[in-house]
Amino acid sequence: MRSRCLGVHGGHVRALLVAAVVVWAFGAYVRDAMQGSPRPGLTGAGLAVTALNAASFALLAAGIGAGGERPGRLRRRVRDAAPWAGDALLLAGMATSLALYGTTGADSGGFFLTMVALWVLVSRWPLRRAVPLGMATMATVSAVGMAAGDGHLDTGTYVGFIGVMLGATALRERRAAESGARRAEAAALLLDERTRLAREIHDILAHSLSAQLVHLEGARLLLSRDGDRTQALERVERAQNLARSGLEETRRALAALRGDAPPPDRALAGLADEYRAATGRDAAVEVVGDPRELSPPAALSVVRTAQEALTNVRKHAPGARVRLTLRYLPGHAELEVVDTGGTEPGLDIAATGSGYGLVGMRERAELIGGTLESGPEGKGYRVKLRLPV
């Protein structure tokens, strides 16, 4: 996570520091260039110095820009067309800087520009290429310096070379570590998403397929024993309805995982409508507090818990009336599902189990820092989900 200091983004702080260093370095470069011999001009040797100055700056700026860490549209096009363009420009800039150094001597900015190009290239290249480049650059600077009459490089110059190499290498390693951390984080998020998706699909299929199997097996037994064909047909129709319901639940779960699902209060109203249509009994929905947007996992947990609670009521307490209450409280949200107790015989499907009952709902709540409580409430049953928001 990027740091912020006094409201200024960390990237902006780094940009300001880099700009300050560049301005200072450019001033020092101009001063040294004007003190060199020959000085920049528009005729003779001065023209050559001027051309080398301009070429060095232009090539280095283009090379640094072409290989930026966060390329814009134009940089992407250049990089896609010629991935080596940035490095080639930097190498050309280094060559002109060395030529400038050989022309004007150690008092010019040629040496400084060479170090800039070396820093950028070493920070981008792997060690197997960066080390030979550094050694070749040091040898070239030594040869050019002696040819220009300096005789030898002082200790400070060698220390500068080593500092540039070590600093650029450390920068490259830090970038590699940050990139690896980002990839690991992305992989973890992808794995988490796949795990949640697998859990949803498993829960839905475990419920739907097990119930279908019971009904289809019952229909097979009735038909094989010359039983009531009307009852067999009813069981087949129940299995068909369960298949449709499972498909709809799968679509609903996928929509919730993508964040495309309706708000929990609307989803609860839809579940209540389904309950009333299927049982002919009342299902009331109450929302307490100001509705707030929940995260996709939290919203999905609310809907799936309500759905499972209503399924349990239909299975274990047929004929019961139900009240669903969604409360938005400071720091958390609560869902409470309470039924009045059954007044009719249980359904055949009750013996099958849901495959993702209250234990699964409790595990789902705990994964996102919530809790789930359940137990008798008067003649009926109460399920209470509590989630942080």
Average pLDDT, the chain: 71
Number of domains in the chain: 3
Asked if pLDDT for residue 38 goes beyond 70, the answer is no
- Asked if residue 211 is part of any domain, the answer here is yes
Single residue among 260, 295, 329 that ends a domain in this structure: 260
Query: Per-residue pLDDT averaged across 306-329, rounded?
Result: 88
Q: What is the DSSP string of 8-53?
A: EEHHHHHHHHHHHHHHHHHHHHHHHHHHSSSPP-SSHHHHHHHHHH
Strands 283-288 and 322-329 come out as: parallel
More confident residue, 158 or 229: 229
At 385, is the secondary structure helix, strand, or coil? strand
Per residue in 59-103, pLDDT tens?
Answer: 566 555 555 554 445 445 545 544 556 666 666 666 666 666 666
Query: Per-residue pLDDT averaged across 170-182, rounded?
Result: 81
Q: 138 and 38 in one domain?
A: yes
Asked if pLDDT for residue 174 goes beyond 60, the answer is yes
* Encoded tokens for 225: 């024993």
Phi and psi for 376 in degrees, rounded to 5? Answer: -60, 145
Q: 93 and 230 in one domain?
A: no
Closest CA to 118 of 189, 187, 64, 181: 64
* Encoded tokens for 221: 């037994």
Domain range enclosing 271: 262-389
- Asked if residue 163 is part of any domain, the answer here is no
Per residue in 333-365, pLDDT tens?
Answer: 999 999 998 776 554 444 444 445 677 788 888
More confident residue, 145 or 366: 366
Give residue 381's pLDDT. Answer: 92
Residue 337 CB neighbour total at 10 angstroms = 28
pLDDT band at residue 296, thresholds of 50, 70 and 90? confident
Give residue 26's pLDDT. Answer: 58
pLDDT band at residue 245, thresholds of 50, 70 and 90? confident
Q: 363 and 279 in one domain?
A: yes
pLDDT band at residue 287, thresholds of 50, 70 and 90? very high
Q: How far is CA 319 from the centre of its chain?
A: 47
Closest CA to 304 of 203, 195, 193: 203
Q: 363 and 291 in one domain?
A: yes
Of 125-129, 243-247, 258-262, the poorest mean pLDDT is in: 258-262
Single residue among 236, 260, 284 that ends a domain in this structure: 260
Q: How far is CA 7 from the centre of its chain?
A: 24
